[in-house]
Structure 1
Amino acid sequence: MKYDTNQLEINKVQKSKIEEVNFDNLVFGEIFTDHMFECDYANGEWQNPKIKPYGPIQLAPSAKVFHYGQAVFEGMKAYKDEDDQIWLFRPDENFKRINKSSARLAIPEFPEEFFFNGLEELLKLEKDWIKKGFGNSLYIRPFVIATEECVSANPATKYKFMIICSPAQAYYSGEVRVQFSEKYSRAADGGVGAAKAAGNYAAQFYPTNLAKEAGFQQIIWTDANTHEFLEEAGTMNIFFRVGDKLITAPTSDRILDGVTRKSVIDLAKDLNIEVEIRRVKVSEIVEAARKGELKEIFGSGTATVINPISGFGYKGEKFELPKLEDSYGKSFKDRLMKIQYNQAEDKHGWRHLVK
């Protein structure tokens, strides 16, 4: 079915709240822009796309999202270069992934025309919220929820797709130490680990709290069957540098197909860095750390781009990683951000100009 982007209704705020925002002191994800995009699914089709002032939405207590967790989301960023042009980074991947996540939770897929038209018109309205400068960006959160008023245990017939935006600064989390999970898993074979389902994140909070009580900031999850293989770190994909080799787990129905992850793999190949995409045993990483061969662990994701990990714990033993001047993680982060901010050649065609 072809969707008409001329259907988009735009209702602007009378007065922006941007003057009330201290852009030098932003807390990630707490401040939101003036407008939001909204589109509803009813009678078998997506309809009535609109941009309107950011604000509360009204849902019945019986809305199925509250009872059966039909909710998926994405995380993206918009960047502004020195010529005031607005850029997105591989938005086609985010679009494909939110529909993949939706399909896994029996949510109707969202039309590509509505997604890109709504997103770009929203960003043009919020252009002043996107600040120039390396590290400044606008975090974009598309999401879908089930809105049908019914508590029967089956997929909803009504949904709401929305996009909200939040200004962000360079993400500094300080030194991060992780715990290799011995008991808890993020996802299992045949589950929803490859989907950005809201419930995946809720289920992480309790074991992560336990790790924090033990002196760690995050968890590297292990497989549900044996707890012998390392899979993801918190909300990030994970990379290990053993010697000069980069190792990361393959994507599967347990592991999220991260946009930053696949970009790091491509950049590593550009730099002739050997990359192994395979299952990673806990025992081999512990052994590499003991031998001094484990040079780096870092996570990759939209919010942080690359998050270096300074140490890890396993079975009561703690390991510290060397501090490297020429780390792979630092190099990948610098290269990715220069592409995102239109400061470097984009030979892979990852940048998307908002016109």
Structure 2
Amino acid sequence: MECQLTIALTEQKKEKPASDKLGFGVHFTDHMFVMDYTEGKGWHDPQIVPYSPLTIDPAAMVFHYGQAVFEGLKAYRNKAGEVRLFRPDQNFKRLNRSLARLDMPAVDEAFMIEALKKLVSVEKEWIPTEEGTSLYIRPFVIATEPCFGVRASHTYKLLILLSPVGAYYAAGMKPVKIYVENSYVRAVRGGTGNAKVAGNYAGSLKAQTEAHEKGYEQVLWLDAIETKYIEEVGSMNVFFKVNGEVWTPVLNGSILEGITRDSTIQLLKSWGIPVVEKRIAMEDLFQAYNDGVLEEAFGTGTAAVISPVGEMSWNGHKMVINQSQTGEMTQKLYDTMTGIQYGVLEDKLGWSVKVTE
């Protein structure tokens, strides 16, 4: 790969949005990272350039056969002005796993981290400083060769976009209501469920819309074979505190290996809380609820970090968890994870990567 990164700065900077108008993923910074791949040449021409629309052939294979993968992570700026990334090495490792699953070319992970740090440094003034806000980072790769042949593309484009985002819990952490989905499935072992590919999310939208119409914020996905075992909640990994120990679905080939999931498991174990990764039947979780030992439930992911679950609906049964209040352990996980991300708590596990002092 030709690793000489070039930078072209814009002469017309955008007006930055007010901190209370950020939302999620609706504003974009002045610059983006772009790099191309050509078969026989490899990845080449990495650039930081002004944010602008792409010109792409309508026959590009991404539009027809869905070769598209992405990642999501954040940059954080604390009151001292320090800018940090949270475990970016894991995001680029997972990006390569996703690329491999769709027969797309791998990237140089170390180079990508350095390129990302440079891009974030160029755009550091876009990183909001209000509590809970951050700069969302979206690396993605698409197939660009114009061809209707059903095969892997010979050319690709990798981009990184940045978006300042508001506090996920602007009005305080609020537990969500979950609908357990029995008709649609998210993924199957051997498919693409353990890769972060665009099609996984397109296939989830119908169930999500129907859940919203029923008054629920998220869908709890069950396995595709027996529709019996719990897999993910919305686009997040899921955890349950049952009688003092924490259960989470074991990675089985159809569940995304979440970085926040892994961080959560490591934190819980460091606190001496037993974590059990296993197949969790919905019937067993319902039994734990009836026995009064289902104590807390929450999802984990980049956007919310920790999202408490206050209610679940399954086969006509309404399960109210911890009186629809955020549990003590759930709150501690959120406070600890975000404290490390913003650099206000000691990072004993070496997760935080400084971009600027």
TM-score by length of 1: 0.96
Structure 2 counterpart of 1:51, one-letter code? I
| Aligned-pair CA distance for 1:316 | 1.6
Which whole-Å deviations, capped at 9, do the CAs of 1:19-61 have from their partners, x for residues lacking one? Answer: 4x11222111100000000000013300011111111001111
Structure 2 counterpart of 1:66, one-letter code? F
Question: How do 1:98-113 and structure 2 match up within 5 A?
Answer: 98-113=95-110
Identity of aligned residues (%): 43
- Name the counterpart of 2:23: 27
Q: Distance in 1 between matches of 2:230 and 2:153?
A: 35
Sort the Cα spacing of 1:4 and 1:66 in 2 relative to 1 into closer, same or farther, 3 A. Answer: closer
| Aligned-pair CA distance for 1:250 | 1.2
Does 2:352 correspond to 1:351? yes
Q: Distance in 1 between matches of 2:23 and 2:259?
A: 24
SS of residue matched to 1:284? helix
Structure 2 counterpart of 1:270, one-letter code? S
- Name the counterpart of 1:230: 230
| Aligned-pair CA distance for 1:124 | 0.8
SS of residue matched to 1:24? helix
Which whole-Å deviations, capped at 9, do the CAs of 1:51-103 have from their partners, x for residues lacking one? Answer: 11111001111000000000000000001123212110000000100010000
Q: Distance in 1 between matches of 2:110 and 2:342?
A: 25
| Aligned-pair CA distance for 1:348 | 0.8
Structure 1 counterpart of 2:62, one-letter code? V
| Aligned-pair CA distance for 1:181 | 1.8
**Conserved? CA contact 2:19–2:130, under 8 Å:** no
**Conserved? CA contact 2:193–2:254, under 8 Å:** yes
**Conserved? CA contact 1:49–1:114, under 8 Å:** no
SS of residue matched to 1:231? strand
Does 2:318 correspond to 1:322? no
- Name the counterpart of 1:185: 185
Question: How do 1:75-86 and structure 2 match up within 5 A?
Answer: 75-86=72-83
Which whole-Å deviations, capped at 9, do the CAs of 1:122-175 have from their partners, x for residues lacking one? Answer: 101100011224312100000000000101100000000000000012103844
Question: How do 1:93-172 and structure 2 match up within 5 A?
Answer: 93-172=90-169
Q: Distance in 2 between matches of 1:325 and 1:147?
A: 45
- Count residues with an aligned counterpart: 351
Q: Distance in 2 between matches of 1:247 and 1:325?
A: 17
Gapped regions of structure 2 (runs ≥ 5) = none
Structure 2 counterpart of 1:330, one-letter code? Q
Q: Distance in 1 between matches of 2:141 and 2:327?
A: 41
Q: Distance in 1 between matches of 2:203 and 2:43?
A: 30
- Name the counterpart of 1:251: 251
Structure 1 counterpart of 2:118, one-letter code? E
**Conserved? CA contact 1:18–1:129, under 8 Å:** no
SS of residue matched to 2:20? coil
Q: Distance in 1 between matches of 2:26 and 2:35?
A: 23
Gapped regions of structure 1 (runs ≥ 5) = none
| Aligned-pair CA distance for 1:339 | 0.5
SS of residue matched to 1:192? coil
TM-score by length of 2: 0.95
Q: Distance in 2 between matches of 1:123 and 1:89?
A: 13
- Name the counterpart of 2:335: 334
| Aligned-pair CA distance for 1:211 | 1.6
Q: Distance in 2 between matches of 1:120 and 1:4?
A: 18
- Name the counterpart of 1:303: 303
Q: Distance in 2 between matches of 1:325 and 1:91?
A: 28
Which whole-Å deviations, capped at 9, do the CAs of 1:174-225 have from their partners, x for residues lacking one? Answer: 4411111212211111111000000000000011112222221111111111
Q: Distance in 1 between matches of 2:307 and 2:70?
A: 21
Sort the Cα spacing of 1:246 and 1:347 in 2 relative to 1 into closer, same or farther, 3 A. Answer: same
- Name the counterpart of 2:84: 87
**Conserved? CA contact 2:313–2:319, under 8 Å:** yes
Structure 1 counterpart of 2:14, one-letter code? K
Structure 1 counterpart of 2:37, one-letter code? Y
Which whole-Å deviations, capped at 9, do the CAs of 1:232-282 have from their partners, x for residues lacking one? Answer: 001000001112111001112100000000000011011111111111110
- 122-131 vs 80-89, greater mean Cα deviation: 80-89
SS of residue matched to 1:18? coil
SS of residue matched to 1:266? helix
